[in-house]
């Protein structure tokens, strides 16, 4: 089974480089450490200071340290955050609402997951082409499919393992120290975060396959991110620039097909919220009335439903790496 050999070899290399440890560090910070520190007794200010300190130290380590140092420090911060959260939680009535945890982590992860997933995957193929080790990858009796799938699984594990672990630990903290906290909310968040992470691992891998140099790969990745996150919204708003709400239904479908939006829609399932999620691409149809925003209509369409969001996210997860897969299969690698 050569997929397994490719996978094992690749994981070993990643975990001996800083990439694996850096991904784990950033993921732990965005989940357990944030949740743990924000829930603290003296209030979010302590959490903020602690969080900034943790980010600073870890960033320094990611650039200067070796993988072991990064891993040890990450573990240490995570343990401190859990210990503090459980030891100094506030009295029940003063605890932060669970909705805040879900929205907070969901928002942070909607940006952090693409970053760590791309970080772990963008060099996958181009790195081996640059170093020449791709001659072993394709010279040993691996089929191109085995090579690509082995790489995809390896880089996915690098992201998914710390992500799921971080969210499950965060779930324990939320359960114990947040108002009406529920472990299941974080478990649900983990479930929708995995396909989202896989989509961006696929994007990095595809870019890595198409680019002929590391610069081209980075350019592809940055362009894709900017298009999906900013360009998509911009175009959507330009299309209805001169018109007043209520907007036609296709306006919501455009938003619904965006992977960021699909992920945010799905994370919103795990908290009862007073208002719409701030990152969501479907604001209700609002207009300014006497100096304040008023909702004048709220178009009902299946485009806004979590079912559509789930289908959209899964489709992105499957299609994105397929582009790279077919390119890798047919391209002249050497």
Partner 1 sequence: MPAIGINNLTKRYGSVTAVDELSLSVERGEVFGFLGPNGAGKTTTINVMLDFTSPTSGGVRLFGEDVHENSVSVRQRSGLLLEGYGVYPRLTAREHVEHAIATKDAADNPDELLDRVALGDAADRRAGTFSKGMAQRLAIAMAIVGEPDLLVFDEPTTGLDPNGARLLRDIVRSQADRGATVFFSSHILSQVEAVADRIGILRSGRLETVGPIDELESKLGGRTRLELQLERITDDLLELLRGLAGVRSVRTENNRIRIKCRDDAETKLRVLNTASEGGQLVDFTTNDSQLDDVFSAVTEVAQ
Minimum Å distance from CB 330 to partner 1? 8
Minimum Å distance from CB 138 to partner 1? 6
Report d(CA 253, CA 262) in Å as an integer.
11
Q: 129 by DSSP, 3-state: which? A: helix
Q: Which is nearer to partner 1, 5 or 285 (CB)?
A: 5
Question: Are 236 and 281 a contacting pair, CB within 8 Å?
Answer: yes
Report d(CA 175, CA 200) in Å as an integer.
29
Phi and psi at residue 17, to the nearest 5°:
-95, 180
Minimum Å distance from CB 231 to partner 1? 34
CA-wise closest residue to 188 among 169, 172, 173, 168: 168
Greatest alpha-carbon span in the chain: 71
Binding site for partner 1 (CB under 8 A): 2, 5-6, 8-9, 12-13, 16-17, 131-133, 135-136, 138-144, 332-334
Report d(CA 286, CA 181) in Å as an integer.
32
Q: Which is nearer to partner 1, 21 or 266 (CB)?
A: 21
Q: Which is nearer to partner 1, 9 or 90 (CB)?
A: 9
Q: Which is nearer to partner 1, 140 or 311 (CB)?
A: 140
Minimum Å distance from CB 14 to partner 1? 9
Q: What would the DSSP string read from start to end of 75-99?
A: HHHHHHHHHHHHHTBPPGGGSPBHH
Minimum Å distance from CB 326 to partner 1? 15
Q: Which is nearer to partner 1, 133 or 180 (CB)?
A: 133
Minimum Å distance from CB 16 to partner 1? 4
Report d(CA 236, CA 228) in Å as an integer.
12
Minimum Å distance from CB 18 to partner 1? 11
Q: The tokens of 265 are what?
A: 């829609």
Q: Which is nearer to partner 1, 52 or 135 (CB)?
A: 135
| Beta-carbon-side half-sphere exposure of residue 213 (alpha carbons within 13 Å) | 3
Q: 201 by DSSP, 3-state: which? A: helix
Q: Which is nearer to partner 1, 20 or 166 (CB)?
A: 20
């Amino acid at each position: 089974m050569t997929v397994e050999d490719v996978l094992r070899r690749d994981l070993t290399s990643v975990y001996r480089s800083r990439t694996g440890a850096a991904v784990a560090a950033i993921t732990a910070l965005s989940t357990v450490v944030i949740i743990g520190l924000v829930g603290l007794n003296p209030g979010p200010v302590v959490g903020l200071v602690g969080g900034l300190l943790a980010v600073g130290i870890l960033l320094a380590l990611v650039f200067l340290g070796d993988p072991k140092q990064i891993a040890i420090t990450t573990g240490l911060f995570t343990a401190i955050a859990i210990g503090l959260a459980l030891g100094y939680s506030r009295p029940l009535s003063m605890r932060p609402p669970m909705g805040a945890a879900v929205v907070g982590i969901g928002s942070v992860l909607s940006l952090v997951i693409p970053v760590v997933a791309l970080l772990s995957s963008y060099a996958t193929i181009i790195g081996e082409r640059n170093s020449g080790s791709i001659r072993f990858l394709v010279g040993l009796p691996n089929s191109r499919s085995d090579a690509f799938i082995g790489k995809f699984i390896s880089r996915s594990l690098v992201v998914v393992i710390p992500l799921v672990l971080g969210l499950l630990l965060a779930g324990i903290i939320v359960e114990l120290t947040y108002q009406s906290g529920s472990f299941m909310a974080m478990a649900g968040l983990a479930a929708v975060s995995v396909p989202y992470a896989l989509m961006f691992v696929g994007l990095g891998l595809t870019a890595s396959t198409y680019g002929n140099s590391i610069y081209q790969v980075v350019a592809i990745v940055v362009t894709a991110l900017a298009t999906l996150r900013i360009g998509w919204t911009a175009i959507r708003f330009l299309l209805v620039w001169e018109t007043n709400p209520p907007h036609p239904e296709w306006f919501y479908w455009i938003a619904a097909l965006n992977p960021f939006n699909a992920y945010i829609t799905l994370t919103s399932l795990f908290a009862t919220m007073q208002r719409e999620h701030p990152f969501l691409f479907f604001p209700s149809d609002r207009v300014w009335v006497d100096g304040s925003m008023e909702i004048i209509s709220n178009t009902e369409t299946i485009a806004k439903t979590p079912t559509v969001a789930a289908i959209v996210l899964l489709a992105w997860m499957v299609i994105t790496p397929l582009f790279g897969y077919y390119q890798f299969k047919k391209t002249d690698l050497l």
